Amino acid sequence: MNGKFFDLKKEKQDRMINAALKVFALHGYRHASTDDIVREAAISKGLLFHYFESKLGVYAFVYDYSVRYMTLELSTVMDIKETEPFELLKLQEEARMHAMRGYPYMQQFLNRSLTEDVNEALVAIEEKRAVLQEAYEQIHNRMDFSGLPADVDGNKLCKMLDFTIKGLMSERFAEDSFQPEMLYKEITDYLEMMKKLTYK
């Protein structure tokens, strides 16, 4: 992590982080511009490069920061002895909601990074990507699918729900109506509906 950056006031740190998360989430690494980041953060380009040196430096930093922040939130899920798949997914989304209260574009940024195709960006985040993936796998491995109907494949069900959750999030951002608590409520409504349909 960038020690110099954390000497800044927290408000300025968050402004820069949120600006970078938003620009990379909306445009991906290839089309993201440091001009857009500094405009969004209301800072000079010289200040951005003083702390991060390059666009790749900014990208690697905010990815590392996002993984650390998100895995910390997800660790609360690990401490709860829940094993029912739908309830675990609700807890997972609650952890994401907590992260997005302070960093609204964090999850969108992490989702976008999954389809990143620029080699230098992929290399820069490879190690941290594995860390986040492991956190989600730990949650998934806790899921007890034995209570599901015999004709329901638990892994396919989770994959379908993941697509639904990502779609809802993308839709809310596209409408420019994103509020973490409202999105969480909408996601949990879908999860509850699917739970009733699955176990009926």
Question: Quick check: is 175 in a domain?
Answer: yes
Contact between residue 18 and residue 104 where contact means Cβ atoms under 8 Å apart = yes
Question: Quick check: is 1 in a domain?
Answer: no
Contact between residue 186 and residue 171 where contact means Cβ atoms under 8 Å apart = no
Residue range of the domain that includes 74 = 7-199
Contact between residue 18 and residue 10 where contact means Cβ atoms under 8 Å apart = no
Mean pLDDT of the chain: 91
> What predicted TM-score, i.e. pTM, was given to this entire model?
0.90
CATH of the domain at 180: 1.10.357.10
pLDDT digits (tens, 9 = 90+) for 10-59: 999 999 999 999 999 999 999 999 999 999 999 989 989 999 989 999 99
Q: Which amino acid is at 187?
A: I
Question: Quick check: is 24 in a domain?
Answer: yes
Q: Give the burial string for 114-129 (b: 16+ CB within 10 Å, else e).
A: eebeeeebeebbeebb
Question: Quick check: is 142 in a domain?
Answer: yes
Question: Quick check: is 118 in a domain?
Answer: yes
Question: Quick check: is 102 in a domain?
Answer: yes
Question: Quick check: is 2 in a domain?
Answer: no
Number of domains, the chain: 1
